[in-house]
Amino acid sequence: MSNSINMESPLHHAQLDDLVGQSGDGGVILHEAKFLGHLNLRGNSQDPEFLAGIKEVLGVELPLSACSSAKGERAQIMWLAPDEWLIVVASGTEHDVEKKLRLCLKGHFAVSDISGAQTILELSGINVIDLLKKSTGYDLHLDSFPIGKVIGTNFAKAGAHILRLEKNKFQLVVRRSFSDYIWLWIQQGSKEYGLTIT
Amino acid sequence: MLLIHCPYCEEMREEEEFSPAGQAHIVRPLDPEVLSDEEWARYLFFRKNPRGLHHEMWLHTHGCRKYFNVTRNTVTYQIMESYKMGQQPSVTASEKGQS
Ligand SMILES: [Zn+2]
């Protein structure tokens, strides 16, 4: 008998892997960036020691201005609130990063591994903006939503964080419990443009 | 639909992202033991219901999940300002000639 436990992403039941290559020319392209390490970080951004500790462990400065993000080789950091961030690291490295953060950070802070609680959906394609317009009231123009900006907002009435990676490429951070609903919504909403799974 | 400025996200967002959280600037009594039942009940349950300027708390539920304060006219729904927790309003009823 095998002792290994198979990890299942929140969209395991949708069997997205089987849908890869089924349709090649969709206006909306969806990819689940599954099993990434998600660490929630709380701390005082006024404390230089806290900031230095983050830089040392993650190799990238903590993004301090509202709705901003930062990307380093080891981690991507999203600003969630003035004292809260989401750190996304490569699959399987989250325990190590969490341990290092606990070693290097001093004072009043919190690090929580929430990898199992949410997943990241990458949306792109020439009609991705059209799909997003159906889903959120936020102004998607590049002037109000530039590349690198991350917003906590409503997506199809569910809560989600949306990070713009490119003009036509977004990352959606969604809770596990909402992921099936959002998967159904994306299928429905992109019907008229065609949906490609990668 | 109201457009509300979140002082933490530093921009206007749609009302759908927020939840109202009642009257602002209610200070918890420092020494509850010395209060009469009536004074304690006043602190717990009695709230203003002004016609005109009101200072109230909102929660940016789907955004930064922070509470902040808003000065809003309850007649016109116009929001005069929003400001962080711990700050004081710059628009107050007495300045506007209201009680
Ligand atoms: Zn906010």
- Asked if the C-beta of A22 comes within 8 angstroms of chain B's C-beta atoms, the answer is no
A146 touches chain B (CB under 8 A): no
**Residue B94 pLDDT class (50, 70, 90 cuts):** low
Cβ-based contacts of B63 with chain A (< 8 Å): 151-153
- Closest chain B C-alpha to A7 CA, distance in angstroms: 28
Residues A179-195 have pLDDT tens digits of 999 999 999 999 999 99
**What is the spatial distance between Cα B53 and Cα B93, in angstroms, rounded to a whole number?**
6
Q: Is the pLDDT of residue A127 over 90?
A: yes
Nearest CB partner across the interface for B9, out of A67, A144, A159:
A67
Report how far ligand 1's centroid is from the alpha carbon of B14 (Å). 11
For A78, name the nearest residue in chain B, comparing CA atoms only: B64
User: What is the SS3 assignment for A12?
Assistant: helix
Q: What number of other Cβ atoms are within 10 A of residue A40's Cβ?
A: 17
Q: Residue B14 pLDDT more than 70?
A: yes
Instruction: Assess whether pLDDT exceeds 50 at residue B97.
Output: no
Query: Who among A82, A144, A159 is closest to B62 (CB)?
Result: A159
State the pLDDT at residue A6: 86
Which domain covers residue B28, as residue numbers? 3-96
Instruction: Kindly give, in sequence order, each residue whose CB lies less than 8 Å from that of residue A158, ignoring residues fewer than 6 positions away.
Output: A174, A175, A178, A181, A182
Gap from A67 CA to chain B (nearest CA, Å): 6
Q: What is the DSSP string of chain B?
A: --EEEETTTTEEEEGGG-EEEEES-PPPPS-GGGS-HHHHHHHHH-----SSEEEEEEE-TTTT--EEEEEEETTT--EEEEE-TT---SS-TGGGT--
- Residues of chain B with Cβ-Cβ distance to A144 below 8 Å are 11
Kindly determine whether residue A82 and residue B14, on different chains, have CB atoms separated by under 8 Å.
Answer: no
Quote the pLDDT of residue B91.
94
Tens digit of each residue's pLDDT (9 = 90 or more) over A71-122: 999 999 999 999 999 999 999 999 999 999 999 998 899 999 999 999 999 9
Any idea which fold A13-35+117-197 has? Gyrase A; domain 2 (3.30.1360)
The model's pLDDT over A4-36, given as tens digits with 9 standing for 90+, comes to 788 899 999 999 999 998 888 899 999 999 999
- pLDDT (0 to 100) of residue B99: 41
Question: What CATH number labels A37-115?
Answer: 3.30.70.1520
Number of domains in chain B: 1
Residue ranges per structural domain of chain A: 13-35+117-197, 37-115
B13, A138: Cβ pair inside 8 Å? yes
Query: The pTM is what?
Result: 0.93
Output the six-digit token pair for A70: 């930062």
Give the pair of three-digit tokens for residue A173.
Answer: 């951070």
CATH code at position B51: 3.30.2270.10
Decide if A66 and B9 are in contact by the 8 Å CB cutoff.
yes
Residue range A165-191: average pLDDT? 97
B95/A106: higher pLDDT? A106
